[in-house]
Structure 1
Amino acid sequence: MEMAHHCLMLLAGIFFLALQLVLAEECAKYKVTNCEECIKSGPGCAWCKKQNFTKAGEPDSVRCDTVAKLSERGCTSTDVINPPSIAILKENKPLGKSDTTVTQLQPQHVVVDLRPEQPKTIKVDFKLAEGYPIDLYYLMDLSFSMKDDLNNLRKLGTQILDELNRITKSARIGFGAFVDKTVLPFVNTHPEKLKNPCPDTNSPCQSPFGYRHVLSLTDEGKLFKAKVTTEEISGNLDAPEGGLDAMMQAAVCGDKIGWRNVTRLLLLATDDGFHFAGDGKLAAILTPNDGECHLTNNEYTKSTEFDYPSVAQLAQKLEENNIQPIFAVTKKMVPTYQALSKLIPKSAVGELSDDSSNVVQLIKEAYNNLRSQVILEHKNLPNDITITYDSDCGDNQKKSQREPKGRCDNVQIDQQISFNVTITATRCFDNPQTVEIRPLGFTESLKVTVSTRCKCECDEPGRKDDCGGNGNIVCGICSCKKGFLGKNCECRAEEKTTQDLESACRRDNSSAICSNAGECICGTCSCHGSDIQGKQIYGTYCECDNMNCELNNGRLCGGNGKCDCGTCKCNEEYEGSACQCKKSIKSCLNSRNNVCSGRGTCVCDICQCTNGYQPPFCETCPGCAVPCAKYALCIECEHFKNEKNTEKCKTVNCTGFTANIVESLGKDKMCKEKDSVNCFMSFTLKENDGFDSYSATVLKDRECPQPPNIVAIVGGTIAGVALIGLLLLILWKVVTEIYDRREYHRFEKEKQKAKWDTANPLFKSATTVVVNPHFSSE
């Protein structure tokens, strides 16, 4: 699988190189008017500054082409402007040791002048020197589980520094410690636990803290031992520790740590995992880590204000400060930190014994592994520059090509390796750009100053008659004085500008001047003449030629006509878009001997119909509507005359229209239209040859509505009104009867309920009786 991958990468590199070679041999030029525009067009473009190089009517853009094509046209090498990309060594100290310095990287400063899209390769050599100075900062986890490790570190004392001094003559060591953020849930915030967080209250234990810088880098082993001896163990709640917080501060607080410009090693010793960005939310710490130094009196004062750093953020800061981390962790944590190491370049992981007794050997092995790995990379790369690396690591290692970084493994002391660094500018830029290339983890670097070659250096002797005395020759073309325009400064500008004159040479507001086939001279196109193939260019905007026409049997216009501005003009006896057939109408005649029924043209003995009509004779039109309403008045005026349509019939034009009266009609394409007296006329239409010519077949009888029966309508109306009145009367009577009956029934019911007395309670007998003497009982 690995071999297949390398083969694929090799093929890709070969393809990329071949593509560059092809592009370098081509010149894609667009709207080129001078030398600078030419060399900006691509790495394969060159400019001919030879005077009188262009022919009559040719634009100056023909001066821009590949060197080979310019040479074919008679441009000598001394007249060709083709600036290449160049590299100049500004500082190139040899590899090896001197009295005061050690040089491992060569060269040290290069100035590169690049042609856009034309790469330049620099060879960079590296030789690993023995005894290169080392700074080691020992960063230790002081949580309670590391108690035995701290005791052993006290015993080791100067042994670590002594071992470093066996590797190099200049070694220094420093010390720092960390626990975790002093807030819940990371640390127990009970006042008693803040004083003594350890489970064993009788043993000495210091209060928890985030990160503390204990000892700056020093070459005094005894001082290191004394500082470590004064440190006490501490404690926290959860398993992960604040190691990334401590590493970030150790990396960015270089002036307080005391880092020199030498090999910088940061040793992290722990027996547990680590908190990273986002974990601070558990303690309501939401502000992201700012990657800045916050050490006050050697204490990390922003531990409870800033979140933990992310792995990517930490990796960036370590790389910026040229620090190589070594993770010395216990066996159970090795897989975790190996995964972390993959995300941090130039880092190593070593298995720490439970009591850290093997830390000296671990440091030595990790340092050797880091030292033998050389990674060449760049910093501060501008957007307009690309860099790739080809690595040559010796006979025993495979070469890599076109990689974003250079890399060699297992590099031995005094072994020289090399890298081909290819730099490409994608476009022109005004000010020089600086790029730093360095081997990761080493202090030396290569400074590359990049500028672009986008100007032509032309030095031609001037003559009085150059440019008609109205300008100067610059790279073979006229640079006109103010007030003059044109190729030879022959046009007076007056109130017009070059843009005004050029716009008159553009067809339909196109961007192309004279269709890119001529030269605009004082607002008029002067087309290129004929070439060796006989191609002629003509037209107001040089838009026409005599070669761009359809071929037949490999011949222009079939050899039976001439090409005129993209269209074949056929000889008398030929026709077709490419004059491919002889004239004939035999197969285009319909049954009435009309060509294509008058609704098309016969080309190559085949009807080409118009307006939706169908071959073979253009007789039918499936999608065409039958114009029934259009001819209804003609039929009415011709066959169904009456007083109401007399005036209309005087103005209607029915020329060429015929109609026949029949007793019955078929159902195909039946038309049914109203006439002036609201009668329906039924007829069919048949289209004659040509357009808008029909003949009709009309049904003799129309469908007319019957006149209304006045007597029946009036009688019916009166009868209806009488009937409605009678019904209303009957209805009123029924309702009244029902109402009366209900009232009577209610009266009878009330009567039955009443209790009447037989004597009248208001009646009283008379108290005086008077007898009428005249009254006789007889």
Structure 2
Amino acid sequence: MNHYLPFVLLSIFLSVVPNAWCQEDVCSKSKVNSCNDCITSGPYCAWCQQLNFTKAGEQESARCDTQANLMGRGCKKEEIINPLSSQQVDKNEPLSTSFNMEEPVQLSPQKISLRLRPGLSTTFSVSFKRIQGYPVDLYYLMDLSFSMRDDLQNVKGLGEDLFKSLEKFTEHAQIGFGAFVDKTVLPYTNTNKKKLLKPCEGNVQCQSPFGYRHVLSLTPRIDEFKDKVTGQLISGNLDSPEGSLDAMMQAAVCGDKIGWRNSSTRLLVLATDDGFHMAGDGKLAGILEPNDEQCHMYKSIYTKSNEMDYPSVGQIARQLEKENIQPIFAVTENMVNMYKNLSKMIPKSEVGLLSNDSNNVVQLIETAYNKLSSKVTLTHENLPENVRVVYTPRCKHAKQEGENKGVCDNVLVGQEISFDITITADSCIENKTFSIRPLGIKDTLTVTLSTSCECQCKDPRESNQQYCNARGTIECGICSCNQGSVGQFCECSIGNKDEHSIKESCKGPSGSECEGRGDCVCGRCQCHTTASGSSYHGDFCQCDDEHCEKFQNKLCGGNGKCNCGKCECYPGFEGSACQCTKSEEGCRTPNNTICYGRGDCKCNRCECKNTYQRPHCQKCLGCPDPCQVKSNCIECLGFQSGPFNKNCSAACRESVLHEMVDQFTIASKLCKQRDTNGCWMKFKLDQLFGEDKFMAEILKERECPEPPSVAAIIGGSIASVALIGILLLLLIKLLIYMKDLKEFRKFENEKKKSKWAEADNPLFQNATTTVTNPTFTGEK
């Protein structure tokens, strides 16, 4: 007996009766004008199509609610439109027990059609069984760079051991072989002609470098594998990372050349001791064209190696998953961490530790195959937008991998497991198809998905004339009026006016029709009743008597009446919620005033104006100095001058009183301020009852400074200017003298150093003829 059968039956029962085990949710409707609007508002919204269900003037959106609420309000169950999710299995071939030459079945069912209510999920179950003897295709992809020389020698004798290992799992095994090095351009490979012919140093026999070469298509013949692999030679390149991803991409997309079978477990073994180049590295060699994920094989050689960039890890993962290929990374110890990180990004892959000469590769492949085949990972492809899928594995070793995968691990051959799949559509879609399948396995479940977003109503035609006043037809219980008529029962004739202009006259300040609380009937709002039975009111139904402020959980504190959102207090009460008894005791000042006239007494406490402070509004926080503020008024009132002189009475009449008045003083202050002429004014300010009121008393006449002596100022100014001029001339003269003295001394020093001054001028010649003046006697 299947141990998981109870889980399967339970999941099917829950999918058929989705609300049997959970409490019905609420219907959160927004703007609802029809049955279609209603059922798309939320998964628990239902529509009552019963005639006369709504009262006169009641909005038709009242027909939209949960089924329980509608029935509670008198709607008959058979008159309620409430589409539920449904499912239909279209293809369900039984699971195969063992492999035969026909197409085996490992996943059931194979096709299912779902019709979902938006927002309401449905659950169904799928089963999976590992088949005994399922075929295995193993493609051995080897790094032939120089560092893998010892490994190649061991791989040449690997064929028989590989086949024996695979025979433990299946009688239908095939093995293929491919090799890679790297792109044959700088800086990856030495492009010197001699180096291209023989890239290895010394007398080592090796072949020219290449990107990727397909050596042997998948074959069940051991001798063919031996012959092809034995003829392989090592090669070489410059940098450490290799063109592994280029080779993997071609091995994945060139299925017809590799020889992958349709019904087989496809294994790709990558053996290397180095890292890998990825998308973007090609720019180092000037290769800018991105990898196109297409097959470019000609005569077993990847022809676009030097023209197309390396693929990205995402591209590799996508193609391996699409082609159901499960990679096994056989790498040396120094590369294990790198390839484990790569394995995390490639679903259904394994990493094995390869010895330095690859002598443990058979055991490594066997271990990796057991891990891959015993792990069943269910996921989906081509999922439509706004559709969610949740997997619930029903197995002993169940776990989740992200949001989009369900995993059963350690699944034995012949063991049947199941998954519950819950699908939810969040919006309306029609005939969308996506697939669900186990990773690395060909078997697929095709899901065809549609949603119920339109009501299927049965309307009585014989009552159209009477119910809609012969001006419309019934659609899901409400009238659809003919042109020229409007209203709940098509009772209004609008003549040449259009319905839009009629409804515009019902729009209130918020812009919505009757504030959403009434119906626009013939251009006027007919207000609905509230939940408690009272009515909305106002021209646009904007008022109600239920949403006033509360005090002690009572509307208007129980001391007033709510009217259009505001409390109207009964006599003797006040406050926004009528929460206070009228009293002024807490607002009275020592002078028997109310808040010093600077505030209002509300709820027995002062509410001060401006910046006056509680408790009695006596002090002002941040107010300017009154001496300075009132100085202009004092100047015009007491001395008839200043900026306010022309309109002194108007500017200062309210705030500054010049004559004595019979009012008490709150505070006094002595002031000394300059007027506009620079004279000192001494006055006293008494702050009076009220806001910004002072009484001024001028203490004595102004004290003005004596005017300055014009002659002294002019004389002093001239003398100062003359003195400064003389000092400047003397300074200039001194500077010139000092400069001349410095130059003269420099000249004297240079003259002492010269030698030519003491010698005869070689160009000078003495006179050759002497003439005597006969008249000269020698006397002066």
TM interval, shorter chain, is 0.7 to 0.9
Q: 2:669–2:686: 8 Å Cα contact kept in structure 1?
A: no
> 1:208 is aligned with what amino acid?
P
- Structure 1 residue runs without a partner (length 5+): 1-17, 739-763, 766-778
Distance in 2, matches of 1:409 and 1:93, equals 25
Shift of 1:416: 0.9
Shift of 1:338: 4.1
Instruction: Point out the more displaced range, 623-632 or 135-144.
Output: 623-632
Q: 1:661–1:698: 8 Å Cα contact kept in structure 2?
A: no
Distance in 2, matches of 1:657 and 1:478, equals 74
In the TM superposition, what are the counterparts of 1:494-573 in structure 2 within 5 Å?
A: 494=495, 496-510=497-511, 512-529=512-529, 533=532, 535-573=534-572
Q: 2:401–2:407: 8 Å Cα contact kept in structure 1?
A: no
> 1:445 is aligned with what amino acid?
T
Corresponding position: 1:60 with 2:60: yes
Shift of 1:56: 3.2
> 2:45 is aligned with what amino acid?
C
Determine which of 365, 368, 376 is the counterpart of 1:366.
Answer: 368
Corresponding position: 1:457 with 2:467: no
Distance in 2, matches of 1:705 and 1:331, equals 101
1:129 aligns to what?
Answer: 131
User: For 2:329, what is the secondary structure of its paired residue?
Assistant: strand
Please tell me whether Structure 1 or Structure 2 has the larger radius of gyration of its CA atoms. Answer: 1
Shift of 1:401: 10
- With over 3 angstroms needed to count, the CA separation of the structure-2 counterparts of 1:647 and 1:670, relative to structure 1, is closer
Corresponding position: 1:327 with 2:326: no
Shift of 1:440: 0.5
Q: 2:668–2:687: 8 Å Cα contact kept in structure 1?
A: no
Distance in 1, matches of 2:389 and 2:375, equals 21
- With over 3 angstroms needed to count, the CA separation of the structure-2 counterparts of 1:344 and 1:591, relative to structure 1, is closer
Distance in 2, matches of 1:416 and 1:446, equals 16
Shift of 1:672: 4.5
Q: 1:633–1:649: 8 Å Cα contact kept in structure 2?
A: no
Shift of 1:183: 3.3
Aligned residues: 707
- With over 3 angstroms needed to count, the CA separation of the structure-2 counterparts of 1:588 and 1:152, relative to structure 1, is closer
Per-residue deviation, residues 22-53 of structure 1 (Å, max 9, x unmatched): 89602221122222222222212222222222
User: For 1:468, what is the secondary structure of its paired residue?
Assistant: coil
2:121 aligns to what?
Answer: 119
User: For 2:469, what is the secondary structure of its paired residue?
Assistant: helix
Percent identity between matched residues is 49
1:217 aligns to what?
Answer: 218
1:483 aligns to what?
Answer: 484
Q: 1:23–1:44: 8 Å Cα contact kept in structure 2?
A: no
User: For 2:561, what is the secondary structure of its paired residue?
Assistant: strand
2:255 aligns to what?
Answer: 254
- With over 3 angstroms needed to count, the CA separation of the structure-2 counterparts of 1:704 and 1:393, relative to structure 1, is same
Corresponding position: 1:36 with 2:43: no
User: For 1:103, what is the secondary structure of its paired residue?
Assistant: coil
In the TM superposition, what are the counterparts of 1:96-107 in structure 2 within 5 Å?
A: 96=96, 100-107=102-109
Shift of 1:106: 0.8
Shift of 1:334: 4.9
Q: 1:295–1:301: 8 Å Cα contact kept in structure 2?
A: yes
Instruction: Point out the more displaced range, 375-384 or 21-30.
Output: 21-30
Distance in 2, matches of 1:641 and 1:374, equals 104
Distance in 2, matches of 1:602 and 1:588, equals 6
In the TM superposition, what are the counterparts of 1:335-484 in structure 2 within 5 Å?
A: 336-352=338-354, 356=358, 359-394=361-396, 397-398=397-398, 403-429=403-429, 431-462=430-461, 463=463, 464-484=465-485
> 1:465 is aligned with what amino acid?
Q
User: For 1:234, what is the secondary structure of its paired residue?
Assistant: coil
Shift of 1:460: 1.2
- With over 3 angstroms needed to count, the CA separation of the structure-2 counterparts of 1:58 and 1:624, relative to structure 1, is farther
2:754 aligns to what?
Answer: none
1:86 aligns to what?
Answer: 86
Distance in 1, matches of 2:631 and 2:187, equals 97
> 1:543 is aligned with what amino acid?
Q
What is the RMSD of the two structures over their aligned residues, measured on CA atoms? 4.3
Shift of 1:419: 0.8
> 2:536 is aligned with what amino acid?
I
> 1:387 is aligned with what amino acid?
V
Corresponding position: 1:574 with 2:570: no
Q: 1:634–1:654: 8 Å Cα contact kept in structure 2?
A: no
Per-residue deviation, residues 515-565 of structure 1 (Å, max 9, x unmatched): 33222223322222365x454422222222222223333332232221112
Distance in 1, matches of 2:251 and 2:620, equals 89
Distance in 1, matches of 2:552 and 2:316, equals 72
In the TM superposition, what are the counterparts of 1:677-716 in structure 2 within 5 Å?
A: 682-691=682-691, 694-703=694-703
Shift of 1:377: 0.8
Per-residue deviation, residues 303-329 of structure 1 (Å, max 9, x unmatched): 223333333332222112111112344
> 1:472 is aligned with what amino acid?
T
> 2:537 is aligned with what amino acid?
Y
TM-score norm. by structure 2 comes to 0.79
Distance in 2, matches of 1:638 and 1:508, equals 52
Distance in 1, matches of 2:619 and 2:330, equals 93
Instruction: Point out the more displaced range, 264-273 or 69-78.
Output: 264-273
Q: 1:43–1:115: 8 Å Cα contact kept in structure 2?
A: yes
Per-residue deviation, residues 97-151 of structure 1 (Å, max 9, x unmatched): 5872211101111112222221121211111111222222222333445455545
Distance in 1, matches of 2:700 and 2:223, equals 134
Per-residue deviation, residues 476-509 of structure 1 (Å, max 9, x unmatched): 2221222222222233344554444444333323
User: For 1:668, what is the secondary structure of its paired residue?
Assistant: strand
> 2:612 is aligned with what amino acid?
Y
Per-residue deviation, residues 341-366 of structure 1 (Å, max 9, x unmatched): 33322123345566555555544443
2:751 aligns to what?
Answer: none
In the TM superposition, what are the counterparts of 1:133-212 in structure 2 within 5 Å?
A: 133-147=135-149, 149-157=151-159, 160-161=162-163, 164=166, 167-199=169-201, 201=203, 204-212=205-213
Q: 2:260–2:266: 8 Å Cα contact kept in structure 1?
A: no
- With over 3 angstroms needed to count, the CA separation of the structure-2 counterparts of 1:673 and 1:46, relative to structure 1, is farther
User: For 1:225, what is the secondary structure of its paired residue?
Assistant: helix
- With over 3 angstroms needed to count, the CA separation of the structure-2 counterparts of 1:81 and 1:648, relative to structure 1, is closer
Distance in 2, matches of 1:124 and 1:617, equals 80
1:747 aligns to what?
Answer: none
Shift of 1:680: 6.2
1:70 aligns to what?
Answer: 70
2:25 aligns to what?
Answer: 25
> 1:485 is aligned with what amino acid?
V
Per-residue deviation, residues 36-74 of structure 1 (Å, max 9, x unmatched): 222222212222222222223321222222222222211
> 1:298 is aligned with what amino acid?
S
Distance in 1, matches of 2:89 and 2:457, equals 26
Distance in 1, matches of 2:345 and 2:584, equals 82
Distance in 1, matches of 2:370 and 2:206, equals 36
Distance in 1, matches of 2:411 and 2:380, equals 20
User: For 2:571, what is the secondary structure of its paired residue?
Assistant: coil
User: For 2:112, what is the secondary structure of its paired residue?
Assistant: strand
In the TM superposition, what are the counterparts of 1:597-612 in structure 2 within 5 Å?
A: 597-612=596-611
Q: 2:142–2:272: 8 Å Cα contact kept in structure 1?
A: no
Distance in 2, matches of 1:154 and 1:371, equals 27
Distance in 1, matches of 2:233 and 2:338, equals 27
1:299 aligns to what?
Answer: 301
Shift of 1:698: 2.3
Shift of 1:374: 0.5
User: For 1:56, what is the secondary structure of its paired residue?
Assistant: coil
User: For 1:36, what is the secondary structure of its paired residue?
Assistant: helix
Distance in 1, matches of 2:375 and 2:658, equals 104
Shift of 1:447: 0.9
TM-score norm. by structure 1 comes to 0.79
Distance in 2, matches of 1:653 and 1:152, equals 112
